[in-house]
Chains A and B, each alone.
Chain A
Amino acid sequence: MPRWGMVIDVKRCIACWGCAIACKEEHFLPPGVFFNRVLIGETGKFPTSSKIIYPILCNHCSDAACVEACPTGATYVREDGIVAVDDEKCVGCRACLVSCPYQQRTYYDQKVKDREYFPGQGKTEMELIGEKLYPFKVGTVIKCNFCSERLEDGMKKGLTPGKDEDASPACVNICPVNARIFGDLDDPDSEINRLIMEKKGKQLRKEFGTEPAVYYID
């Protein structure tokens, strides 16, 4: 069984937000909900300051704080390492949301569901279709799932996640500068393991001990 992970090459990233928007389209996310974001900051002082750009998403931690906090078992780490939410079991207590050091979860309530991209002008056809194609349950917590539907559908067709578009997460496919590399952390020969080794991949806020499956290289 693979353990899916991602390497984000911060050096390549140009902060275009393609990942964030492609993700919104893939999952039909309402306004204000992001499974992918880009954090932009600065370090240092003029004239030697530099810009920091960090695309972030759920880290699919193997020792996930959210899983630990979930009282119902709705949030769990799948065999393939993906941290998933079973919306049949979620009671909406948001313990996961509060405990995630990366703040990668969103509580989906009626207010969120009712939001419109063109406020006051009604939902667009796309938003309405999205509610059918990719329905979220009100009162549950939603999050990045590494596009597990794409992965599963793709693998059924014999495709390889990380290599074939139809078996890879939307944010990986959209990236115009190939800053996202997806693959199997359990495969010692995978490209992501090679990059993590060669470029000394870093996990975000390792000190929380959550063991993220997303690594950053620069």
Chain B
Amino acid sequence: MTYKTDEIWEDKWVNTTCGVCYCGCAAKVRVVNGVPVKVEGIKDSTMGGDGSGLCGKGTAGLMYYHDPNRIKKPLLRTNPEKGIGVDPKWKEIEWDEALEIIATKMKKIMEDDPNKILFTNQTMRASDGPHNHPYFYAQAFGVKNNGNFIIGGGSLHCGNACHMLGGLIHGAWSIAPDWRYTKYVLKWGSSKGTGSGHSAMTNARLRADAIRRGIKEVVFDPMGNFAGGKATEWVAILPGTDTAVGLAIANYIANIRGEMDILYLKAKTNFPYLIKDDGTYIRHEESDKPLIFDSREAKIKEYDDPTLAWEDCALDGEYEYNGERVRPCFVPFKEHLKQYTIEWASEISTVPVATILKVCKEWVDNAQIGSTITLEGKTYPYRPVSSVTFRGSQGHSNGIHQVAAIDLMSQLVGAEDVPGGTLGWPAIRRAYPGGNYEQTCKAGKDGVIVPSVFYSHDPWPVHAPSLPATNMGCVDIWTHCTLSHIPYVDEIDYIHEKFGMKSKPEMIFGIAANFVISNSDWDTAIKNFKDCFVVQMDLWVNETDQAIGDIILPDVSYLEKDCWSSEIDAFFFSGSPSHEDWYVHMQQPVAKPIGESRFFMDVYIDVANRCGVLDKFNAKLNDYYGVTDPELTIKPGEVLTWKEIGERFLKWVYGKDTEKIKEQGYATWNKPIEDVYWRWDIDTRCPVYMEYLLHDRKRMEEIFEQTGFDLEFDMDQYSALPSWFWPESHKDLDSEFDLIAFSYRDILHTNNTTFQNPYIDEVSKMCPYTFTITLNSSLAKEKGMKDGDVIWIETKAGVKENGIVKTMEAQSPKVIGIAGQGGLWADGRPIAKGKGSNFCKLLPSKLKYFDPVAGNMETAVAVKIYKD
């Protein structure tokens, strides 16, 4: 077989960053005669550890370049009518014309109220460009706060509650088990290490090593597929009921077994903080700091009083302060847990009593409370148990309590950011040796950690709910939404009216978002956004573009992109959460842009320039990267391309090694062990007792009262104590709508973009569950259904979706599963068209289906199913 021919004049490898999902794995691309033909991992980058691989969808990423359906010139809608099934009658126009239309429109809106412009992003493209920049891009136009909803949430069910508590507890966006030293992992509706989540393949490699080492991994999940199918033990659970099991385990640890890491609770949580009978902290008159009872000196002190030793922080007892009875909040907390028995949890979750009990025992046994481990000459508490969750279990109207309960068992045994326990992605980012850009977290109000960088809405300190709302997401009132979903809510007009949000959305400036089909009920999304002037930068004309887009600008794929910044600020979810060196990869173009496509950052700059706000944006960039070297900052009046900005900023970030790093396409440098296991080195306390919610509740109730706001909104969830609340989907169950539909991430897919990739499409067909609707086999039998049957799923709201049945054993018999965002119909993506079923459209978009605290959607829904 001839392997090489004379016609080959170029055959090289280019290092870059994978852009197929938000993980940003190291990738190198083989380019032959200017054509990218193969993707592999980069062995020398730390990211790969001993391996260097990419997952299937990353490997398949080449097709983004080769897809003949890519748009090559800006498109303008000529049919003023919008909606699903309406031909937009696209007309190709020149870039200059398109940008002039956009800039003119934006300037006009800005004169009136810049908050009427929505800036959106989609996570599929997150590592596919600078993650955080749309936020301050929006600010350059005068958009207030970062309540601009859809950034990041531009079409997916983001992990609001996870991010909120990840931020409050770990100073991080997300959490993972310390695979290197753990012995026992509980996963709740998450697939960390088995395919999805942040740093997916880094975690997968670390997990594979851990599994080989012999750890036990128990997965609570409605289905035994990606996570459960690989677990040591899969436990079927009903969606949204993880709280019940979590609380029962906490009750077992605290009250039945009574083995806890007491020193940890005293030193690293707010459990010793003294509270009044109404549940709120007592505070020092002057400093306003919460107080703790010093049991050695029998005296009440500020929590950070230097004379207060950790071991002396009282966790029990009853004291008097200014004539009022006060108690450490741990007292009622522990008491509160007593109601959550294992039998009770079993009834709610369908997990057998014996299984819960076994997990309880294994958890405490493996926690090795009191043990230590010495690593690199430093001794740490050793707690080799980890309990992690992500999008799945938190995606419910009780999401905040789900996450709090799942975290609680780790808190009680002190397994947070210590070897073997649960780690946040690094809360601290050290600068590259000889370079700049260092981000460190700090202790904020009440001793709670303040993350160094956090996208969107900062978790701490919490601002008080206030009127009027000044942004689309109304985060002024809804203070704990990392990403607000309010703009998708059916009652948006009512909500905006009540909360005094004056700015009605008039324009969307989006990056490949597909929120019409990938959030919730399609009709509501169209209703809410069709009157906007919708501009998107996209690779194809997707469903949102086709239904409501006005101008579609051709974007480059990651293979054509020169993006020096792709991961620099994403350290808190794109690196390794483990004790492994730092790695940051750059996106280097491996091929020329397709057609007239342009990188969205350059389009951003061009539009900002036309709108007269480029200096503001540039100043924000200087500020964001902390560039102070006058030779490297962007000066007023300068119009630089993104690449030119990179030439300066990379020198700032990497110093004298810049050229070397540019050449190899990535940087790796030492991550000190103390930055991984920082829990006992950084003086912060986890707000496990969610006292702040009590204040928020009071203020919100006042606002509701004042405005006459009367939509159904479960204020009881504003409870300081993690508690059980039925998720809305369960409340809708009855004899007709008797099943809960849930969705999950398939390892092959990132939202819906991957559906258009023919490599992925081909292997998706070879997977039994990817394009099908899964039913437990006995449930299928009961319903008279079998493999291959075409069925309809219908919700109480009358929304219907159809699909092909695949029966499986490893699924709870009370649920049906759909892998994400199929059921696509855009003409611009023929490979994707018609594949799989769309889960999102089934989700009701009424306010009551949202977590009243963290703002995430109820991503399960009561349905009935019947044959076509």
Residue-wise interface mask of B (757-769) relative to A, using a CB-CB cutoff of 8 A (1 in contact, 0 not):
0111011001110
Does any Cβ of A come within 8 Å of B211's Cβ?
Answer: yes
Query: Which of the segments B53-61, B91-99, B365-373, B472-480 contacts the partner chain?
Result: B53-61
Does any Cβ of A come within 8 Å of B123's Cβ?
Answer: no
Chain B residues lying within 8 Å of A104, measured Cβ to Cβ, are none
Closest 10 A-B residue pairs measured CB to CB?
Answer: A51-B229, A17-B56, A176-B53, A49-B809, A124-B66, A177-B208, A12-B208, A16-B55, A176-B201, A21-B59
* Contacting pair A173 B53 (CB below 8 A): yes
- The listed residue (B35, B40, B225, B759) touching A24 by CB distance below 8 A is B759
* Contacting pair A51 B810 (CB below 8 A): yes
Q: Known interface pairs A42-B808, A134-B1. Does A16 touch B230 (Cβ–Cβ under 8 Å)?
A: no
Q: List A residues 105-133 near B (Cβ within 8 Å).
A: 117-118, 121-122, 124-126, 129-130, 132-133
Residue-wise interface mask of A (1-39) relative to B, using a CB-CB cutoff of 8 A (1 in contact, 0 not):
000000001011011111011101110100110000110
Does any Cβ of A come within 8 Å of B830's Cβ?
Answer: yes
Does any Cβ of B come within 8 Å of A47's Cβ?
Answer: yes
* Contacting pair B58 A18 (CB below 8 A): yes
Total cross-chain contacts (CB, 8 A): 188
Q: Using CB atoms and an 8 Å cutoff, list the residues of chain B in contact with chain A.
A: 1-5, 7-8, 25, 32-33, 35-41, 43, 50-60, 62-63, 66-69, 194-195, 201, 204-205, 207-209, 211-212, 224-226, 228-230, 234-236, 747-748, 758-760, 762-763, 766-768, 776-778, 808-811, 813, 830-831
CB pairs A–B below 8 angstroms (24 shown): A11-B212, A12-B211, A16-B56, A18-B58, A21-B56, A21-B59, A21-B759, A22-B38, A25-B39, A46-B778, A51-B225, A117-B66, A117-B758, A124-B68, A126-B35, A129-B33, A133-B3, A136-B1, A173-B40, A173-B41, A173-B52, A174-B40, A175-B53, A177-B205
Chain A residues lying within 8 Å of B777, measured Cβ to Cβ, are 46
- The listed residue (A16, A53, A125) touching B35 by CB distance below 8 A is A125
Q: Known interface pairs A18-B58, A129-B37, A177-B53. Does A46 touch B811 (Cβ–Cβ under 8 Å)?
A: yes
* Contacting pair B32 A133 (CB below 8 A): yes
* A126 → B minimal CB distance (Å): 5
* Contacting pair A18 B54 (CB below 8 A): yes
* B664 → A minimal CB distance (Å): 15
* Contacting pair B748 A17 (CB below 8 A): yes
* Contacting pair A149 B55 (CB below 8 A): no
* Contacting pair B54 A126 (CB below 8 A): no
Q: Closest residue of chain A to B66, judged by CB?
A: A124
* B295 → A minimal CB distance (Å): 47
Q: Closest residue of chain A to B202, judged by CB?
A: A176
Chain A residues lying within 8 Å of B767, measured Cβ to Cβ, are 15, 38, 40
Residue-wise interface mask of A (158-176) relative to B, using a CB-CB cutoff of 8 A (1 in contact, 0 not):
0000000100001001111
* Contacting pair A165 B52 (CB below 8 A): yes
* Contacting pair B234 A50 (CB below 8 A): yes
Chain A residues lying within 8 Å of B208, measured Cβ to Cβ, are 9, 11-12, 14, 177-179
Q: Closest residue of chain B to A11, judged by CB?
A: B211
- The listed residue (B33, B209, B747, B758) touching A15 by CB distance below 8 A is B747
* A49 → B minimal CB distance (Å): 3
**New contact pairs (16) apart from A15-B226, A25-B38, CB-CB < 8 Å:** A11-B211, A17-B763, A20-B56, A21-B60, A24-B759, A38-B766, A46-B811, A49-B808, A51-B810, A118-B831, A121-B68, A129-B35, A136-B1, A176-B53, A177-B53, A178-B53
* Contacting pair A133 B205 (CB below 8 A): no
When chains A and B are docked, how far (Å) is the Cα of A11 from the Cα of B808? 21
Q: List A residues 125-151 near B (Cβ within 8 Å).
A: 125-126, 129-130, 132-136, 149
- The listed residue (B52, B194, B236) touching A14 by CB distance below 8 A is B194
When chains A and B are docked, how far (Å) is the Cα of A46 from the Cα of B224? 10
Q: Known interface pairs A47-B236, A117-B63. Does A130 touch B37 (Cβ–Cβ under 8 Å)?
A: yes
When chains A and B are docked, how far (Å) is the Cα of A31 from the Cα of B761? 10
Does any Cβ of B come within 8 Å of A206's Cβ?
Answer: no
Q: Closest residue of chain A to B224, judged by CB?
A: A51
* Contacting pair B204 A14 (CB below 8 A): yes
- The listed residue (A49, A133, A135, A176) touching B41 by CB distance below 8 A is A176
* Contacting pair A51 B35 (CB below 8 A): no
Q: Known interface pairs A49-B224, A122-B68. Does A165 touch B39 (Cβ–Cβ under 8 Å)?
A: no
* Contacting pair B63 A176 (CB below 8 A): no
Chain B residues lying within 8 Å of A175, measured Cβ to Cβ, are 51, 53
Q: Using CB atoms and an 8 Å cutoff, list the residues of chain A in contact with chain B.
A: 9, 11-12, 14-18, 20-22, 24-26, 28, 31-32, 37-38, 40-42, 44-47, 49-51, 53, 87, 117-118, 121-122, 124-126, 129-130, 132-136, 149, 165, 170, 173-179
Q: Known interface pairs A16-B747, A126-B66. Does A40 touch B768 (Cβ–Cβ under 8 Å)?
A: yes
Q: Known interface pairs A14-B226, A21-B759, A42-B809. Does A174 touch B59 (Cβ–Cβ under 8 Å)?
A: yes
Chain A residues lying within 8 Å of B759, measured Cβ to Cβ, are 21, 24, 117
Chain B residues lying within 8 Å of A11, measured Cβ to Cβ, are 208, 211-212
When chains A and B are docked, how far (Å) is the Cα of A134 from the Cα of B32? 12
Q: Closest residue of chain A to B758, judged by CB?
A: A117
When chains A and B are docked, how far (Å) is the Cα of A18 from the Cα of B55? 5
* A147 → B minimal CB distance (Å): 11
When chains A and B are docked, how far (Å) is the Cα of A106 from the Cα of B39? 24
* A14 → B minimal CB distance (Å): 5
When chains A and B are docked, how far (Å) is the Cα of A20 from the Cα of B54? 12
Q: Known interface pairs A28-B37, A37-B766. Does A18 touch B53 (Cβ–Cβ under 8 Å)?
A: yes
* A191 → B minimal CB distance (Å): 12
When chains A and B are docked, how far (Å) is the Cα of A44 from the Cα of B33? 51
* Contacting pair B747 A14 (CB below 8 A): yes
When chains A and B are docked, how far (Å) is the Cα of A14 from the Cα of B35? 30
When chains A and B are docked, how far (Å) is the Cα of A118 from the Cα of B829? 10
- The listed residue (A20, A47, A117, A177) touching B51 by CB distance below 8 A is A177
* Contacting pair B66 A42 (CB below 8 A): no
Chain B residues lying within 8 Å of A24, measured Cβ to Cβ, are 759
Chain A residues lying within 8 Å of B808, measured Cβ to Cβ, are 42, 49
- The listed residue (A18, A32, A51, A118) touching B69 by CB distance below 8 A is A118
* Contacting pair A126 B37 (CB below 8 A): yes
When chains A and B are docked, how far (Å) is the Cα of A40 from the Cα of B40? 24
* Contacting pair A178 B51 (CB below 8 A): yes
Chain A residues lying within 8 Å of B209, measured Cβ to Cβ, are 178
Q: Closest residue of chain A to B35, judged by CB?
A: A125
* A12 → B minimal CB distance (Å): 4
* Contacting pair B758 A31 (CB below 8 A): yes
When chains A and B are docked, how far (Å) is the Cα of A173 from the Cα of B766? 22
* Contacting pair B53 A50 (CB below 8 A): no
Chain B residues lying within 8 Å of A53, measured Cβ to Cβ, are 229-230
Q: Choose among A14, A125, A135 the residue with the greatest number of B CB atoms under 10 Å from its CB.
A: A14
* A199 → B minimal CB distance (Å): 9
Chain B residues lying within 8 Å of A25, measured Cβ to Cβ, are 37-39, 59, 62
* B806 → A minimal CB distance (Å): 11
* Contacting pair B8 A20 (CB below 8 A): no
* B275 → A minimal CB distance (Å): 42
When chains A and B are docked, how far (Å) is the Cα of A212 from the Cα of B66? 37
* A182 → B minimal CB distance (Å): 13
Chain B residues lying within 8 Å of A28, measured Cβ to Cβ, are 37
* B231 → A minimal CB distance (Å): 9
Q: Known interface pairs A16-B195, A125-B66, A165-B43. Does A46 touch B52 (Cβ–Cβ under 8 Å)?
A: no
Q: Known interface pairs A31-B758, A124-B68. Does A178 touch B229 (Cβ–Cβ under 8 Å)?
A: no
* Contacting pair A176 B810 (CB below 8 A): no
* Contacting pair B3 A149 (CB below 8 A): yes
Q: Choose among A44, A129, A130, A177 the residue with the greatest number of B CB atoms under 10 Å from its CB.
A: A177
* B217 → A minimal CB distance (Å): 11
Chain A residues lying within 8 Å of B763, measured Cβ to Cβ, are 17, 20-21, 38
* B290 → A minimal CB distance (Å): 44
When chains A and B are docked, how far (Å) is the Cα of A196 from the Cα of B338? 51
Chain A residues lying within 8 Å of B67, measured Cβ to Cβ, are 118, 124
* B666 → A minimal CB distance (Å): 16
When chains A and B are docked, how far (Å) is the Cα of A203 from the Cα of B34? 42
Chain B residues lying within 8 Å of A15, measured Cβ to Cβ, are 226, 747, 767
* B744 → A minimal CB distance (Å): 13
